[in-house]
Structure 1
Amino acid sequence: MSTVRYNESPASLMQAAAEVAKFAADIAMGWYHSSVQVETKGDGSPVTIADREAERQARAWLQERFPEYGLFGEEFEAVRPEAKRRWILDPIDGTKAFVRGVPLWGTLIACCEGDTVLAGAACYPAVNELIAAAPGEGCWWNGTRASVSSVSTLAEATLVTTDERFLDRPHRRAAWQTLSSEVAVCRTWGDCYGYLLVATGRAEIMVDDIVNPWDAAAMYPLITEAGGRFSDWRGCDTAFGGNVIATNSALANAARRPLLESGDHSA
């Protein structure tokens, strides 16, 4: 593990986020393509020993280096919830993909002060991709500057989502279908990988119907520092709106219009 001494600058927090994301992702990778047992949590989502062990060790890594910061993750209770700053962790975003041997899963880490995201990183070890960003520091993908695409018409765009059925809010399907009918390519298996595609210019639009803070916080600076737009379905620029529309800048308005005009802006 690193012996780097971090500080509270954006660049240092970005470096820490990237390092702990890779550290935790490598731990989870030890169970990838194995017959890991899958449990079902109270909310119906799956969890494995890989999720828990990766988060446990990531928390220990962060506690050693940032002892005054809070910790908020998917698998364990919050630590120091009253702290001014907190780290938000998702050890495996895309567990359903992970347990099926699909490589489009990742480890997400964000540092926040209130609802302001100070740094974020995502590591996708099965496809050897690491991306990190902080406000004013840019977005960096495997060591090179990342940028959203310049595609400016929906007819040329690639649209990604995690599940186009919108199982928890099926009444949103019509708005989704309106948008998906206007683009060149529409794909699922989104999860965290869809945001990576937008931030690196390989897709233009990522839509998520339901997200938790640990799903979205890291993604906010990745998209915005790559030159894109990140909002909830109300059009508010936030990582904490309960749902997400992430786009390149050129399609920010056109991609949001059918969703915002659907009349359903509930979180």
Structure 2
Amino acid sequence: MTQMLPLELAHKMADRARSILQPYFRTRIPIQDKADTSPVTIADRETETALREMLRMHFPSHNIIGEEHEQVQQGGDFTWVIDPIDGTKSFISGMPTFGTLISLQHADLPILGMIDIPISGERWVARRGHGTHYNDQPCHTSSVTELADAILYCTEPDPFNPAQLACFDRLARQVKLRRFGGDCYLAGLLASGHIDLLVEADLKIYDVMAMVTVIEEAGGCISDWHGQPVGGSDWDGSLVASATAQLHRQALAVLQGKPSQEPPESGI
């Protein structure tokens, strides 16, 4: 068998996920509640099983982390992180903004990320050092640097604890526009420059790793609310992503209860 490049395989995985998910969309399928009360369907599990089989076939020595099945730890430096349906609540309620997330890490560094939206046929893909592409065309975050000019999105406020909700509300009062809903689609919109800020909480590693490379390679910034990398062992599940470094610093300051103004430039 000819060795397939990771990017080529990621595209084939996303194509396979589309072929499974599209026939299930807006059909009556059983819904189960997992231990954390989040919903899951046969579509989630069937898709992840298919993606894992492709990974085992082409990269049997790589580790695998997914939402619906147990981790596969082979002991190497390469780890695939996959989420067959990011936005299962949207999927089961007929909203087309759910997506499939595929990412590859080397050690702790995300080096490949893909966000695929099966129903609309949109795909964002990024490799470390090669930029982000939307349906094969280069894309970039917006140039917004001030909160007053920013469009802020959040999937839903329910995961915020009371302290986080207060911080989010404080940030939302300072931006140009606040909207809700979108799941991983929001990360793609940020990478393409349509929105400027994304704030979430109570996420898991499979929710975010694809977003990291897609957003950073498009020119944006992504971290937890403390300014630290997402997905690590000390990560609290929070996320803030911004179109520019200046906007990111301001958003973090507000979320941390600090003054949001950029420091004046030195005249020296």
Q: TM-score, normalised by structure 1?
A: 0.90
* Structure 1 vs Structure 2 CA RMSD: 1.6
SS across alignment from 2:198: strand
5 Å matches for 1:205-224? 205-224=197-216
Return the offset for 1:70: 1.3
- Separation in 2 of the partners of 1:216 and 1:102? 20
- Separation in 2 of the partners of 1:52 and 1:17? 18
Structure 2 residue 186 is the aligned partner of structure 1 residue 191: no
SS across alignment from 1:131: strand
After superposition, the C-alpha distances for 1:50-97 in whole angstroms (9 at most, x for unaligned) are 000000001111111111111110001112353321111100000000
What is the identity, as a one-letter code, of the residue corresponding to 2:241? Answer: A
Partner of 2:90: 97
Partner of 2:131: 138
CA contact (8 A) 1:149 1:200 kept: yes
5 Å matches for 1:104-123? 104-123=97-116
Partner of 1:14: 7
Identical amino acids, percent of aligned pairs? 34
Partner of 1:9: none
CA radius of gyration, larger in: 2
CA contact (8 A) 2:98 2:182 kept: no
Partner of 1:30: 23
Structure 2 residue 83 is the aligned partner of structure 1 residue 87: no
What is the identity, as a one-letter code, of the residue corresponding to 2:219? Answer: G
CA contact (8 A) 1:22 1:130 kept: no
After superposition, the C-alpha distances for 1:19-70 in whole angstroms (9 at most, x for unaligned) are 3123213312221110011100001100000000000001111111111111
SS across alignment from 1:29: helix
Partner of 2:68: 75
- Separation in 2 of the partners of 1:58 and 1:234? 33
What is the identity, as a one-letter code, of the residue corresponding to 2:242? Answer: T
CA contact (8 A) 1:37 1:48 kept: yes
- Separation in 1 of the partners of 2:122 and 2:193? 14
Partner of 1:257: 253
What is the identity, as a one-letter code, of the residue corresponding to 1:253? Answer: R
After superposition, the C-alpha distances for 1:136-184 in whole angstroms (9 at most, x for unaligned) are 01111100001000122222211011112445x1221111011111111
CA contact (8 A) 2:226 2:252 kept: no
Inter-CA distance 82–136: structure 2 relative to 1 (3 Å threshold): same
- Separation in 1 of the partners of 2:16 and 2:176? 37
Return the offset for 1:112: 1.2
Q: Which has the higher contact order (CA 8 A, sep 6+)?
A: 1
SS across alignment from 2:24: coil
- Separation in 1 of the partners of 2:12 and 2:199? 27
Give ranges in structure 1 of 5+ residues lacking alignment.
Answer: 7-11, 263-267
Inter-CA distance 172–81: structure 2 relative to 1 (3 Å threshold): farther
Partner of 2:3: 5
- Separation in 2 of the partners of 1:18 and 1:256? 34
- Separation in 2 of the partners of 1:147 and 1:229? 12
CA contact (8 A) 2:128 2:213 kept: yes
Partner of 1:150: 143
Structure 2 residue 241 is the aligned partner of structure 1 residue 243: no
What is the identity, as a one-letter code, of the residue corresponding to 1:191? Answer: D
After superposition, the C-alpha distances for 1:92-129 in whole angstroms (9 at most, x for unaligned) are 00000000000110000111123211211110011210
- Separation in 2 of the partners of 1:133 and 1:218? 9
Aligned residues: 254
CA contact (8 A) 2:104 2:110 kept: yes
After superposition, the C-alpha distances for 1:192-236 in whole angstroms (9 at most, x for unaligned) are 111111111010011111111100011100000000001011101
Give ranges in structure 2 of 5+ residues lacking alignment.
Answer: 259-268
CA contact (8 A) 1:231 1:239 kept: no
